[in-house]
Amino acid sequence: MTQAKIALVTGGSRGLGKDMALSLAKRGIDVILTYHSQKEAAEVVVAEIQQAGQKAAALQLDASDLKGFDAFIESVQRALKETFGTDKIDFLVNNGGTAMYVPFASATEAQFDESLNVHFKGVFFLTQKALPIMADGGGIVNISSGLARFSHDGSSVYATMKSAVETLTRYLAKELGPRKIRANVVAPGAIQTDFGGGRVRNSPQLQEMLIGVTALGRVGLADDVGGVVAFLCSDDAKWVNGQRIEVAGGVNL
Amino acid sequence: MTQSKIALVTGGSRGLGKNMALSLAKKGIDVILTYHSQKEAADAVVEEIKKTGQKAAALQLDVSNAAGFDGFIREVQEALKNTFGVDKIDFLINNAGTGAYAPFAATAEAQLDEMINIHFRAPFLLTQKALTIMADGGGIVNISSGLARFSYEGYAAYASMKGAIDTLTRYQAKELGARRIRVNVVAPGAIATDFGGGAVRDNEQLQGFLASMTALGRVGLPDDIGGVVAFLCTDDAKWVNGQKIEVTGGIHL
């Protein structure tokens, strides 16, 4: 049996990250997923992946705590050796993140820094530190948001961090090209998960507004996004590099 | 056995279109492909698809002759009935086209009209006429070009039409959403095919330049593109709508 490729998915215990992890496994890719606080949920995902016939492991990571990244990379290396019998990951999916809804006029420096750390500095430096344990010819998938293209009240902090990630993605594609590492960014629209306290899932009024501006006439589900991430980690996407794919059913076209 | 989905690929006898047809078949999708003049090449692709276990048929089509579209749609209907045993296609891939190289200052009206007819009027009008034989819930993939984003001397007419296709794609996504028809556009970069008289394939100096501008450090091959078109015709892309995916290895990032 050839060695399966391995993807590291941050924030893989629930919501979109969980669906990404399961979609990758469905394509024959082994998965290391991280969780922030929900260890049990993460272990359920690991068990589900193992039932699908792929290897999996769950590691704790606070994507906003840069000081912890060196130790985290060491824990990935241990997991690679112990669970996967290898020393490199092939794909890094920077999914972990939390919502931030606050008007521009009243956003505090602490809120700004919190979003900056988890959505931009964390992605920047975790990726940098992961480079030595990434195989040449692999890939990076960053997760942005439709909000980086269109604007909803209260998302100025979150969305500008996502825009920075989109620009970073092009630079990663450019600078990691010599190692044949592709970098792309997936921008989901509004999805019914527990993201932001279930903001979309729990508000019929918001859902109705979103449906009205979405070509395919419904709100996104967690299951809508993972297949695109998995595609980007497949041979079908071998010439897709530096791209942004919005996965929103055609919202605000 | 469930009925396979059916894709209509224009210009499927050679180059990128051939690779798209084969990639779709590999994903379990039946294919009707069109050819302009190379019937034997088209028949060879049909045979290759049949060997993979999918159904296939080849039909003649001159995309620059809009007067022939009604007759062509009738032929598609006959082929659907006779070869596929159904009356609808699920996917339409507007791939057919030829290159034209002329400096803006020296482009003749006839050259401009040719580009308009082949690269814009045909995808517009052929798609319009195909709507009646397209199944709800299907998809359209238009083919654009990296040249719609960056500019190489001599492609003013060709690239402008591709820019028009990019915009048309978003409008189609918007207006066909009610039928759950997704519409996306794939923009290949420079590919070594016989397109434009083999300009890229046969010119080592141009290849060296293009490779140096491309993050992944080589020129594109036909096989780089088909997998992305096929992905857009799968369930993995069910929430991807109104999107442009450039497939260039990361050129001019």
- Band (A1; pLDDT cuts 50, 70, 90): low
- Band (B70; pLDDT cuts 50, 70, 90): very high
Percent of chain B's residues with pLDDT above 70: 99
Of B170, B178, B224, the CB nearest to A239: B224
Please name every residue paired with A182 in a beta bridge, in sequence order, or none if there are none. A139
Tokens 């994903």: give the residue. Answer: B27
- Taking contacts as CB-CB distances below 8 angstroms, the residues of chain A near B248 are 239, 241
In chain A, the residue whose alpha carbon lies closest to the alpha carbon of B227 is: A236
Interchain contact B150–A (C-beta under 8 A): no
Of B227, B237, B250, the CB nearest to A241: B250
Interchain contact B163–A (C-beta under 8 A): no
pLDDT for A154: 92
Q: What Cα–Cα distance (Å) separates residue B53 from each residue in A219, B76, B85?
A: 37, 21, 16
**Would the CB atoms of A237 and B231 count as touching at under 8 Å?**
yes
> Average pLDDT for residues B145-155, to the nearest whole number?
93
Helix, coil or strand: residue B192: coil
d(CA A211, CA A190): 10
d(CA A106, CA B231): 43
Chain A with chain B: Cβ pairs closer than 8 A: 114
pLDDT for A199: 81
| Cα-to-chain-centroid distance, residue A156 | 20
pTM as predicted: 0.94
Helix, coil or strand: residue B180: coil
> Average pLDDT for residues A138-159, to the nearest whole number?
95
Q: What Cα–Cα distance (Å) separates residue A104 from each residue in A40, A107, A151, A157?
A: 36, 5, 12, 7
In chain B, the residue whose alpha carbon lies closest to the alpha carbon of A219 is: B239
Give ∠ CA A121-A136-A60 in degrees, rounded to 5: 45
Residue A157: how many CA atoms within 13 Å on its side-chain side? 22
Of B215, B239, B249, the CB nearest to A247: B239
Interchain contact B173–A (C-beta under 8 A): yes
- Taking contacts as CB-CB distances below 8 angstroms, the residues of chain B near A243 are 245-246
Rounded to a whole number, what is the distance in Å from the CA of B242 to chain A's nearest CA?
5
> Average pLDDT for residues B108-137, to the nearest whole number?
96
**Would the CB atoms of A177 and B225 count as touching at under 8 Å?**
no
- Per DSSP (E only), the strands in A70-133 are 89-94
Asked whether residue B114 carries a pLDDT value surpassing 90, the answer given is: yes
> Average pLDDT for residues A26-53, to the nearest whole number?
97
pLDDT for B1: 54
Neighbours of A20 (CB within 10 A): 30
> Average pLDDT for residues A17-46, to the nearest whole number?
97
pLDDT digits (tens, 9 = 90+) for A187-239: 999 888 777 778 888 888 889 999 999 999 999 998 999 999 999 999 999 99
CA Rg value for chain B = 17
Contacts with A, B 17-76, CB within 8 Å: 23
**Would the CB atoms of A236 and B231 count as touching at under 8 Å?**
yes
**Mean of pLDDT over chain B:** 95
pLDDT digits (tens, 9 = 90+) for B35-58: 999 999 999 999 999 999 999 999
pLDDT for A221: 93
Interchain contact A167–B (C-beta under 8 A): no
In chain A, the residue whose alpha carbon lies closest to the alpha carbon of B225 is: A239
- Taking contacts as CB-CB distances below 8 angstroms, the residues of chain A near B173 are 215, 250, 253
In chain A, the residue whose alpha carbon lies closest to the alpha carbon of B20 is: A236
Pick the more confident residue, A98 or B210.
B210
To probe the interface with B, which of A240, A244, A245, A246 has the most B CB atoms within 10 Å? A240
Interchain contact B136–A (C-beta under 8 A): no
Interchain contact B7–A (C-beta under 8 A): no
**Would the CB atoms of B230 and A180 count as touching at under 8 Å?**
no
What stretch of H or E contains A244? strand A244-247
**Would the CB atoms of B173 and A176 count as touching at under 8 Å?**
no
pLDDT for A2: 73
pLDDT digits (tens, 9 = 90+) for B190-242: 887 777 777 788 888 888 999 999 999 999 999 999 999 999 999 999 999 99
**Mean of pLDDT over chain A:** 95
pLDDT digits (tens, 9 = 90+) for B76-104: 999 999 999 999 999 999 999 888 789 99
**Would the CB atoms of A241 and B240 count as touching at under 8 Å?**
no
- Taking contacts as CB-CB distances below 8 angstroms, the residues of chain A near B214 are 177
- Band (A166; pLDDT cuts 50, 70, 90): very high
pLDDT for B204: 87
Rounded to a whole number, what is the distance in Å from the CA of B216 to chain A's nearest CA?
5
Asked whether residue B117 carries a pLDDT value surpassing 90, the answer given is: yes
Question: Measuring CA to CA, which residue among A207, A201, A241, A161 is closest to residue A16?
Answer: A201
Find the range with the poorest average confidence among A201-205, B31-35, B242-246: A201-205
Question: Measuring CA to CA, which residue among A218, A253, A214, A247 is closest to residue A230?
Answer: A247
Q: Is A158 a catalytic residue?
A: yes
Buried b (16+ CB within 10 A) or exposed e, A76-91: beebbeeebeeebbbb
- Band (A21; pLDDT cuts 50, 70, 90): very high
Interchain contact A215–B (C-beta under 8 A): yes
In chain B, the residue whose alpha carbon lies closest to the alpha carbon of A226 is: B236
